[in-house]
Amino acid sequence: MAAVGKLLTSRAYWLTLALFSGSMVAVALYYQYVLGEEPCQACIQVRLWVVGLLILGLLMACLPPKAPLFAAANFLAVVFAVGLAERSWFLYQLENGKGDGSCEFQLGMPDWFAVDRWFPSLFEVRNLCSFTPDMLFGLSMAEALLLTAAGLIVGILCSIIATFSPQAFPHAGVSGQPKGA
């Protein structure tokens, strides 16, 4: 159990989160450019949450391991994972005819965050929301995203708990200051 706690409070954790997020983006791009499944507004919003996790993971893998920094970053990671879960739930509801929402043919971001114009190959909306493609084990992409988001939330919450463990940062107290300072 101590080994798991050490992993969840290490740079390897953040690198793993970044690699997993990067893999999710790669799968989305494979579906878009190889299989011809054009992304809708909600799909692009999912990508934004995943790219947020990717950037956070890369940033934290480069920063020194300090308890307050790890805790704050984990709380931000939970926000990203919950955002991913919410957009995935929206897609799931739409494809099952249960949702009362719809999506537009544009991303709808403000001009100061026009990622769809800055990086159109990654963030341009090219379809209206409808059914998501099938993935492994007969799951739709929306179902797979929901399961992924749930797993991320659980994993990140475990990391938050591990961050506040006295063994997490043995050279520093929870405040991040060296013991005895």
In sequence order, the β-bridge partners of residue 140 are 134
In the chain, domain spans: 2-163
Decide: residue 81, CB within 10 A, 0-12 exposed, 13-18 middle, 19+ buried.
buried
Amino acid at 163: T
Average pLDDT by consecutive 10-residue portion of the chain (181 residues)? Answer: 61 93 96 92 93 96 85 93 94 82 74 87 85 85 94 90 68 48 43
Fold (topology level) of 2-163: Bromodomain-like (1.20.1550)
Residue 178 confidence (pLDDT) = 46
What pTM did the predictor assign? 0.84
Question: Rounded to whole angstroms, how far apart are CA atoms 143 and 59?
Answer: 29
CA distance 9 to 128: 40
What is the C-alpha separation between 11 and 162, in angstroms, rounded?
Answer: 14
What pLDDT is attached to residue 6? Answer: 66
Convert 129-165 into a string of H (helix), E (strand) and C (coil): CCCCCECHHHCEHHHHHHHHHHHHHHHHHHHHHHHCC
Query: Which tokens hold the place of 135?
Result: 């993935």
Helices 141-163 & 11-33 angle (0-180, nearest 10): 170
pLDDT for the residue 8: 65
**CA distances to 12, 17, 36, 58, 74 from 1, in Å:** 16, 20, 44, 25, 20
Give pLDDT, residue 96: 82
What is residue 130's predicted lDDT score, i.e. its pLDDT? 77
* Cβ neighbours of 180 (radius 10 Å): 5
